[in-house]
Amino acid sequence: MSLEFTLEGRFPVGEARAGSLRTPHGVALTPLFMPVGTQATVKSLGPDDVASLGATFILANTYHLYLRPGAELVAEMGGLHRFMAWPRPILTDSGGFQVFSLGHMRQVGADGVRFRSHVDGSEHYFTPERATAVQELLGADVAMAFDECTPYPCSEAYAREALGRTHRWAERCLAAHTRVDQALFGIVQGSTYPALRHESARFLSGLGFAGYAIGGLSVGEPKGQMYELLAETVLLLPAAKPRYLMGVGSPEDIVEGVAHGVDMFDCVLPTRVARNGGLYTWHGRINVRNAAHKHANSPVEGDCDCYTCRTFSLAYLHHLFRCEELLAYRLATIHNLRFLQRLTARIRAAILEGSFSHFRAEFLAGYRSASEEVRAEQRAKWSKRVVGVE
């Protein structure tokens, strides 16, 4: 058995649904958010911390683990679960996003991608077969097909060319995949062109993957456009298979993603903004560095049950960040990841109770999202960092 997906409930109106994923390393309830452990660790936290927050899945990065310490070494150590001491389910991405974000450091061909390591400049070659073999060595419960994630914006001609490669590579990944205890997901691409998204969803659905991801969204396009493309894409994917929206983790995007029929999410955003002093609340994100919190003798949120909120005041967190103490990163990360676990649990309960529509409206009315300008500034700032590092 590699993966079993069971639908346990659907909201009577719309696409929102709740289910369960049974894997060789346990059962995960959906909708779910996967904290990102790029290099086999969720930054600033230990596995026990992550488990205590209620997380059931972790995402690890194929590209980074291939470069360091090497997939062969991870296999020698007993596989990724044992290597990082995480006994629960793991998903590895294919490395496609990281490879294609290398820009001038990579060359795309019909058979694969030749690229230079951002670590030492050494040359490597990823084919669908190689990406699949690396993920089999890592031994995650869910592996992803090797795809080409196009940038935003890109021309329709290039998006179509890249889509053709993604589809051919998907077939080759399926043919190369041999681990019976590992599920393989296909990835829908097509940039911002609805016709290409439709074509991709239909083509991949016919290949019989264990699950389906929607890739190439939340890469710079306006949120409204992302939601429209998501709505059109999801409806063409098999209802009996899990659906995974890649790289999306803003609270409002999770609520909207579920409303459109998505089951799984991942993103570096909650841990990254935590390390920059951004903390999630039910009313939006706050900056704990702001002087307004210097005398705040209250937790980040009064109803939050995370270790940070149960133990420390906002004033203390403000102090830690102003002094650049390492504990600040751990406490902020704990809070943000617990916030998303609480959010997905509330969404799931609302779906099963038949009140999701009310929950969605109430949440979105009370949650203040970051503006398009702020998001653009953050993307520009973070894009200058080492490729794909969380």
Q: What's the per-residue H, E or C state across the chain?
A: CCCEEEEEEECCCCCCEEEEEEECCEEEEECEEECECCCCCCCCCCHHHHHHCCCCCEEEEHHHHHHCCCHHHHHHCCCHHHHCCCCCCEEEECCHHHHHCCHHHEEECCCCEEEECCCCCCEEEECHHHHHHHHHHHCCCEEECCCCCCCCCCCHHHHHHHHHHHHHHHHHHHHHCCCCCCEEEEEECCCCCHHHHHHHHHHHHCCCCCEEEECCCCCCCCHHHHHHHHHHHHCCCCCCCCEEECCCCCHHHHHHHHHCCCCEEECCHHHHHHHCCEEEECCEEEECCCHHHCCCCCCCCCCCCCHHHHHCCHHHHHHHHHCCCCHHHHHHHHHHHHHHHHHHHHHHHHHHHCCHHHHHHHHHHHCECCCHHHHHHHHHHHCCCCCCCC
Q: Assess if residue 125 is contained within a domain.
A: yes
What domain range is 193 assigned to? 4-267
Q: What is the pLDDT of residues 52-69, one digit of tens each?
A: 999 999 999 999 999 999
**CATH code (residue 128):** 3.20.20.105
Whole-number Å distance between alpha carbons of 59 and 37: 6
Beta-carbon-side half-sphere exposure of residue 338 (alpha carbons within 13 Å) = 23
- Tell me how many domains the chain contains: 2
Q: Assess if residue 279 is contained within a domain.
A: yes
Q: Of 267, 294, 309, which residue sits at a domain end?
A: 267
Same domain, residue pair 92 and 216: yes
- Does residue 269 contact residue 250 with C-beta atoms inside 8 Å? yes
Q: Assess if residue 342 is contained within a domain.
A: yes
Q: Assess if residue 367 is contained within a domain.
A: yes
pLDDT score for 11: 82
Q: Assess if residue 100 is contained within a domain.
A: yes
Q: Assess if residue 178 is contained within a domain.
A: yes
Same domain, residue pair 222 and 313: no
Same domain, residue pair 87 and 202: yes
Q: Of 236, 267, 298, which residue sits at a domain end?
A: 267
Q: What is the pTM of this model?
A: 0.96
Which residue numbers in the chain have pLDDT < 70? 1, 372, 374-390
Same domain, residue pair 158 and 251: yes
Q: Assess if residue 202 is contained within a domain.
A: yes
Same domain, residue pair 211 and 345: no
Same domain, residue pair 160 and 37: yes
Same domain, residue pair 96 and 129: yes
Same domain, residue pair 262 and 148: yes
Question: Which are the catalytic amino acids?
Answer: 93, 266
